[in-house]
Structure 1
């Protein structure tokens, strides 16, 4: 008998409460499948998986898969398996990210690598990816498998792109958007696109939901960039200021750097290249961002992508699910309020 993990009930958020309610039955099935597929006779695997899966989070990405399938009139259980695959891909990415970023905490808890080490975190992430692809195969849709497997490759490319851009203040805004498009938006896009694929929808509906997911993901990540300098750990899922301490290039940094004077640019170079950024330096970084409107302009860009996501749903008939998916766009952006 394999060891299984326990799972906390998905928490509702006011901003996505309608989506949470409409997807409740499907998410119950997803949760049961997570319990089954994260189990293993190798004791460390469910222990590490349990640590991250039960640590909170709204499970927005798998809900998008369920919602998109429902919006397109899908009947069956393939959406549950694909939604679970999406969640496992996301969880694996978090495990790998924390190793690459040398992160100590996630959602106010020690990261898996701090408890079990980097090797276990990477290998359990690989196990979850393997389970995800097995479920994709079980669904029997080559198109859905192609979309999600392509997303997995793009996400990995995004990680490498981010490493290449690390501490590089010569990164352009277009280059940065390419990074977050790969690293974050690709999974949002795939999560939404596989719904109409298994529903057998027309190409225009598939394209519309792919656009919705992509632009929602871009808006989501840009808001995360802002929250790192002005949010809280609960909203962000990690320590506030981690991006700054790790020397990560994000859009608020790029905007503040390009708009700053020589002295301010020196501060940014020293901060991003250094390994001991203090709380005082973080406060100074925030002050410079405020001075140059870097955070406000990043939010403006997030709203732009959010508007594209909303417009992408225009061709679909009005329904409770469509309205709930529109609410998700507002929720992603309103996290900074």
Structure 2
């Protein structure tokens, strides 16, 4: 990540200035709430991908800065909405916006940030860019709704789970990188390669996130262990442990996830079962598979610092599990 930030530092600073300017409003609660979320940290990974993808494609204009800000607004809006849906009290180790300002304000400021994103798309003036980013926003919403549909259902399949993370996470990664090729007016093959890179990176990123929820490494990131468990989310570690367990273990998973009858010690038991069936390790193996696919997609481009940095992002995302 350090190499990537160094390559696009000036562009990232311009993007940050634009983000701050566009989140201003005479309604003071809006910039206050948005600033609270931004102050909680975050690596600006998605806008960094847009900036780096444009540079990789040889773009030297300024359109990618506005589109990177647009990508970050879409991401931030979804975070605000997600925390309300999940009833989360923490975001990156700090009180979530909904915990501080309430659910109603969080939802409405999320809507405001979506609107700002659409304004930036319109200002860019490209119908192709508008189509890519609007489609991603719709797909994110579909992924979140599908997650609600399969939540607490232990009969959910790995295919359904992958549909969820392709929608709620990977779609924006793919759009963020694809628009870099579009603004540079590169051939469709390069746009498709960057789309594949972003999509596979996004899947790997979410797989690691879902593994981390049951890992001690989560605490190092300032997050609590077991949030997904408490919410009854069906993620790959749960699916693997359930599929590989005996009937007694399956009964346990149905009780804690489907019936939401959770008692003291149940999270510890879940961790034991996951360890017994290598659910965390095998989830990371899957993440590595998608990470390798992301790196392979970059073969469409010649050797350069941007390509090396984007490869490094894949390694960084997977290394979080250590």
Q: Identify the match of residue 218 of structure 2 among 232, 248, 255.
A: 232
1:103 aligns with 2:91: no
**What does the per-residue CA deviation read over 1:194-226, in whole Å, with 9 as the maximum and x for residues that have no partner?**
000011000110000000000000000000011
Q: What TM-score, normalized by structure 2, do the two folds share?
A: 0.98
Distance 1:171 1:60 in 2: 30
Alignment of 1:1-337 (within 5 A): 16-230=1-215, 231-233=217-219, 235=221, 238-275=223-260, 277-278=262-263, 280-337=265-322
TM-score between both structures, scaled by the size of structure 1: 0.93
Please, which runs of 5 or more residues in structure 1 have no aligned partner? 1-15
Change over 3 Å in CA distance of 1:49–1:278 after alignment to 2: farther
Partners of 1:71 and 1:109 lie apart in 2 by 35
Partner of 1:3: none
Q: What is the alpha-carbon distance in structure 2 between the residues aligned to residue 255 and residue 208 of structure 1?
A: 31
Question: Over residues 133-173 of structure 1, what are the superposed CA-to-partner deviations in whole Å (9 max), with x where a residue is unaligned?
Answer: 10111111111110000000000001100000000111111
- 1:184/1:218 contact within 8 Å kept: yes
Aligned length, in residue pairs: 321
For 1:229, what is the secondary structure of its paired residue?
coil
Q: Which runs of 5+ in 2 are unaligned?
A: none
Between 1:237-246 and 1:140-149, the stretch displaced more is 237-246
Q: Please list the CA deviations of residues 104-140 of structure 1 after superposition, one character each: whole Å capped at 9, or x if unmatched.
A: 1111111111111111100000000000110111111
Query: Following the alignment from structure 2 to structure 1, what is the Cα–Cα distance between the partners of residues 261 and 67?
Result: 42
Q: Give structure 1 regions of 4+ aligned residues with deviation exceeding 4 angstroms.
A: none
SS of alignment partner, residue 313 of structure 1: helix
Q: What is the CA distance between 1:240 and its match in structure 2?
A: 2.0
Distance 2:103 2:220 in 1: 24
Q: Deviations over 1:24-79 (max 9, x none)?
A: 11110011001100100001101110010121011100000000000001121110
Task: Tell me the C-alpha RMSD between the 2 structures.
Answer: 1.1
Distance (Å, rounded) in 1 between the aligned partners of 2:62 and 2:183: 10
User: Structure 1 61/68 Cα, relative in aligned 2: closer, same or farther at 3 Å?
Assistant: same
Secondary structure of 1:206's match? helix
Contact 1:245 1:276 in 2 (8 A): no
